[in-house]
Structure 1
Amino acid sequence: MLKNRVLLLLVAVGLAAAAGLAFVTHAPNRLLSGQAVSWAIVLGAGRWMALLPALPLVVGPFLPQSRAVHLVLAVSAAALAASLLWLAGDVAIRLADTATPSARTSFGGAFWLIEAMAALAAADALQRGISNPAARITIGAVLILPILAVIGGGAIDQLSIMKEYANRRSVFATAVATHLAIVGATLLPTLGIGLPLGVLLDRRARLRRPVFAVLNIIQTIPSIALFGLLIAPLAGLVAFAPLLGRIGISGIGATPAIIALTLYSLLPIVRSTTAGLEQVPGSVVDAATGMGMTPAQIFRRVEVPLALPVVVAGLRVTVVQAVGLTAVAALIGAGGLGAIIFQGLNGSAIDLVLLGVVPLVAIAITADIALKLAVTMLKMRSG
């Protein structure tokens, strides 16, 4: 009898991907489209045993939904993800022995879909089997270790994406550092402006409509357009005051990127701050007033702690949004992972694009999970 419809759907999608898409592809060079490598070659010589972790997932939808079963499913999904990664690397190593140095073996559509389904299956199992958020994230981090071991052990070094990484190792490290620096530099003015503005709007309700109208209009402007609109004013400002240029401000690069990203980030921070303060029960404020607290004490000791979970939830949206939009800022010379992505797009090198996309997604997911955990912990403390 069916017990878990979500897992059944994930398994069905994974099987359909395996049947209809290539697991890995092989091409003469990085610019040409690769040909699918058959499953017979991938799983030959006993390598099919790498798929054994998939068996618990296939029968999982029909098993009793106990905590032990969910933990087994989570471990199986993580093991399957690591095994698939090893299989792809193994194929690349075998094909490299008979191919020219310029040949490339790349992940196919089936690999990405099955990996995604395995990750979702693990997340679903942990969500169902473990109620404590901190324990859930801790176990999830442990389950990622086999994947990191496969990567760190060199098992996938012959894959095209890893060859792209090897060719751009120093550039890649600089791109990641630049990307994180721009996001961090964006958060400082965003919080410095957004938090006080949110408090002001909570205290002055008549200002909410015009302020939110302006912030909503900013959100509707395409990011590349806003980046472009800032180039001329900043260039003119630097021409008027050359000292600004000496400290790194210019019409292109990080400066317009940080200004534009700050403008985009204000809406979720201001809205969450206002909403968080609004949801503080009036009876709690009245009780604090009755105890003799001053308005400043009520704000610091009562309103801020109760509003903080909502504020951090808004920060979560802001950070994830900033991580993604920073990639677009590479078009105006800001650098970061977007520079690698657009370089790959210009050269029709898909694996170079993935070299920028994969860490970008990893950073966004990591930030989202960390801030989601912070929200949960704050709610538990305030509750």
Structure 2
Amino acid sequence: MIKQKIDKLGVVIALIAMPALLFVPFVTFKANRIVQGQPVWVFSALPAWAAACLTLVVVAVLVSAILKAGVLVRMIAACLGLVTVLVAIGLAASFLTPEGNSFARVSTASGFWMLLFAFSMLLIDALARLRPRPLVRIFLLLAGLVLLGLLARSGVWNELSLLKEFSSRADSFWREAWRHLALAVGSLVTAFAMGLPLGILCYRVERLRAAILNVLNVIQTIPSIALFGLLIAPLGWIAANLPGASELGIRGIGAAPAFIALVLYALLPIVANTVSGLVGVDTAVSNAAKGLGMTDGQILRRIELPLAMPAILTAIRIVLVQNIGMATIAALIGGGGFGVFVFHGIGQTATDLVLLGALPTVALALSAAVIMDALTELATRARKEIATA
């Protein structure tokens, strides 16, 4: 009976969370930005009352995880644990930073990340068991983002080194955020405008299908840095010899090679999934439409493309998440984006500056995945309704 009540995932979560609370540094304190940091454990990093509250919450969450509490209880416990850890890291920064000292830095350490990871595992497991509807998943995502925004606006994180890095670079942060989104979304829109007709062509003309897909497969195998490098010379030549090209932003260094590379990488998923989705349409449905007097163009627009939409949306999800991640590398060739902070942080051995670029990238990719998964599920349901109508 006791074994049946113990959840194996809960045991794993406890094995991660308890050492993080007791034996691993929660934060790192630095007298200034460049000196070596000193590890600080939970009970030294927080006021006594805050350390006690954090300990009680961690224990309560782990009990609900280990003893197979109800799914809803586990989800609420995971959310409580995450919020408590996020508030605790801000309290630790405020507690350790001397009053009036603008040079001291308090950064997150491995204990914080282990607790965050453990409670995130519990939340993901609870959501997987609850299987919320697509619109509910989007609502939960928005609620989480709003909560993070409220915590940031409340000032509880103001003494964190990450927030200090943001404060000193706020203008450039939002500028690079716009560039990152422009690269990721703009290349997706361009690739979709090119890839959808190309996919339809491959579906209609089977002799072209293998050749086009093989070429796109070869492009996909080229490492991103190598592809950026291959584009520098021809784009530099165009900028030097074609009047007006440089004024349009076409240069060997900058956003142009990054944008073109992202478009090329995005073509294969869009074309392949378009072909797969159209091939997967039941021929009986197409034949019935022909029997009603529809032309090939009408069948494509009204029957085949709507039925292929789940596969096409899956391709858009793959490309969007891929582009959000790969746009980070664009900073290496002057393309901007969150990669600017990542590579500056690596060059200066400033972990918080790296996180300033990495965390928004992860948040964008996760949000895009959740939203596109929900839209794909809605499209799949609509396809089933069309097929059975």
1:61 CA drift (Å): 4.0
Task: Tell me if the contact between 1:178 and 1:335 (Cα under 8 Å) persists in the aligned partners.
Answer: yes
1:2 CA drift (Å): 3.7
Question: What one-letter code is carried by the residue in structure 2 that aligns with 1:259?
Answer: I
1:59 to 55, 63, 74: 63
Question: What one-letter code is carried by the residue in structure 2 that aligns with 1:21?
Answer: V
Aligned CA distance change for structure 1 residues 372 and 7 (closer, same or farther; 3 Å): farther
- For 1:57 and 1:128, the matched residues in 2 are separated by 17
Aligned CA distance change for structure 1 residues 8 and 133 (closer, same or farther; 3 Å): farther
Question: What one-letter code is carried by the residue in structure 1 that aligns with 2:61?
Answer: L
Moved more, 275-284 or 352-361: 275-284
**2:48: which partner in 1?**
45
Q: Is the counterpart of residue 35 in structure 1 residue 38 in structure 2? A: yes
Matching of residues 265-344 of structure 1 within 5 Å: 265-344=266-345
Aligned CA distance change for structure 1 residues 170 and 50 (closer, same or farther; 3 Å): same
1:293 CA drift (Å): 1.6
**2:104: which partner in 1?**
103
Task: Tell me if the contact between 1:7 and 1:57 (Cα under 8 Å) persists in the aligned partners.
Answer: no
Count the aligned residue pairs. Answer: 380
Task: Tell me if the contact between 1:175 and 1:337 (Cα under 8 Å) persists in the aligned partners.
Answer: yes
Question: What one-letter code is carried by the residue in structure 2 that aligns with 1:169?
Answer: A
Q: Is the counterpart of residue 187 in structure 1 residue 191 in structure 2? A: no
- RMSD in angstroms over aligned alpha carbons? 1.9
- For 2:252 and 2:141, the matched residues in 1 are separated by 43
Q: Normalising to structure 1: TM-score of the pair? A: 0.93
Moved more, 114-123 or 258-267: 114-123
Moved more, 116-125 or 304-313: 116-125
Aligned CA distance change for structure 1 residues 243 and 44 (closer, same or farther; 3 Å): closer
Q: Residue deviations 1:24-78, cap 9 Å, x none?
A: 111222223322112222354211213444344322345556xxx2222222212
1:197 CA drift (Å): 1.0
- For 1:25 and 1:78, the matched residues in 2 are separated by 25
Q: Secondary structure at the match of 1:246?
A: coil
- For 1:335 and 1:307, the matched residues in 2 are separated by 35
Aligned CA distance change for structure 1 residues 9 and 120 (closer, same or farther; 3 Å): same
Aligned CA distance change for structure 1 residues 240 and 146 (closer, same or farther; 3 Å): closer
**2:83: which partner in 1?**
82
- For 2:115 and 2:312, the matched residues in 1 are separated by 36
Question: What one-letter code is carried by the residue in structure 2 that aligns with 1:50?
Answer: L
Aligned CA distance change for structure 1 residues 186 and 211 (closer, same or farther; 3 Å): same
Matching of residues 174-253 of structure 1 within 5 Å: 174-253=175-254
Aligned CA distance change for structure 1 residues 163 and 43 (closer, same or farther; 3 Å): closer
Moved more, 142-151 or 326-335: 142-151
- For 1:199 and 1:137, the matched residues in 2 are separated by 31
- For 2:350 and 2:68, the matched residues in 1 are separated by 46
**1:134: which partner in 2?**
135
Q: Residue deviations 1:112-146, cap 9 Å, x none?
A: 12212222322221221244222233234335544
- For 2:187 and 2:146, the matched residues in 1 are separated by 31
**1:10: which partner in 2?**
13
- For 1:51 and 1:215, the matched residues in 2 are separated by 53
* Unmatched tracts of structure 1, length 5 or more: none
- For 1:169 and 1:19, the matched residues in 2 are separated by 35
Question: What one-letter code is carried by the residue in structure 1 that aligns with 2:110?
Answer: G
Moved more, 146-155 or 245-254: 146-155
- For 1:226 and 1:115, the matched residues in 2 are separated by 36
1:329 CA drift (Å): 0.7
- For 1:146 and 1:260, the matched residues in 2 are separated by 36
- For 1:235 and 1:328, the matched residues in 2 are separated by 19
- For 1:62 and 1:238, the matched residues in 2 are separated by 62
1:362 CA drift (Å): 0.5
Q: Residue deviations 1:122-181, cap 9 Å, x none?
A: 222122124422223323433554443322201011011011001101011101011101
Q: Normalising to structure 2: TM-score of the pair? A: 0.92
1:335 CA drift (Å): 0.7
- For 1:300 and 1:260, the matched residues in 2 are separated by 30
Percent identical pairs in the alignment equals 37
- For 1:261 and 1:339, the matched residues in 2 are separated by 17
1:339 CA drift (Å): 0.8
**1:264: which partner in 2?**
265
**2:73: which partner in 1?**
72
* Unmatched tracts of structure 2, length 5 or more: 385-389
Aligned CA distance change for structure 1 residues 8 and 34 (closer, same or farther; 3 Å): same
**2:387: which partner in 1?**
none
Question: What one-letter code is carried by the residue in structure 2 that aligns with 1:26?
Answer: F
Task: Tell me if the contact between 1:106 and 1:160 (Cα under 8 Å) persists in the aligned partners.
Answer: yes
- For 1:332 and 1:136, the matched residues in 2 are separated by 37
